[in-house]
Amino acid sequence: MASYSMGKKFNTVYSMSDRSLIIEDAKIFFVNMTKEGKYDRSFCVALSEKLANELKREGWNVKYSEPREDGDAGEYYIPVAVKYGKFPPAIYTINGKSKTLISETNVDTVQSMRYENVDIIIAPYTWDDNGVDRVKAYLKTMYITVESNRLDKKYAYLDEEITGEDAPF
């Protein structure tokens, strides 16, 4: 697997020995982290046409969305399941110099965040569908750099831990 250009942004894609995908600067959409009703937690990741074709040949569940308006381009993507169980995903938010692990109880907060950057590792689950290999994508790891505004940056020093002689008690 190599690097693929994704329009204005450049996504770097690596494949690990276990066929997991690492996508840096991922474009994610249709984020559903609430697990309400019959729907499971999931999101979609945009793919370049070249990567989409390669993953499709390998049996991944690659989808295509038609252009919404004249002049728009369609988009290739894969749906990614977010499952908590035996091997839960590690989802981190990055806010300034702070990294926070998001638990299953508060993963729904990810849905309303504004992102500057998203890096992900997607683990494949392969099964035989009447002699045809199929691959479902599961989230393994996600780092979300939260969009910060002027005041977030101004007060970022409050997130730093005070230790030693600087501690007030």
Mind listing the pLDDT tens digit for each residue in 111-124? 888 889 999 999 99
Query: In this structure, what token pair is assigned to residue 120?
Result: 């992900």
Q: What is the pLDDT of residue 124?
A: 93
Domain boundaries, the chain: 3-166
* pLDDT for position 2: 40
Is the predicted pLDDT of residue 99 greater than 50, yes or no? yes
Residue holding tokens 């691959």? 135
Tell me the per-residue pLDDT of 52-93, one tens digit each, with 9 for 90 and over: 999 999 899 999 998 878 777 889 999 999 999 888 999 999
Contact 41, 34 (CB under 8 A): yes
**Residue 48, beta-bridge partner list:** none
pLDDT tens per residue, range 108-166: 989 888 889 999 999 999 888 888 888 999 999 999 999 887 887 787 777 665 444 55
Residue 51: phi, psi to the nearest 5?
-65, -40
Instruction: Find the length of the chain.
Output: 169
Which CATH number describes the domain made up of 3-166? 2.40.50
- Which pLDDT value is given to residue 12? 65
pLDDT on residue 126: 87
Query: From CA 153, how far away is CA 96, in angstroms rounded?
Result: 7
Rg (CA), the chain: 18
Structure tokens at 105: 């109880």
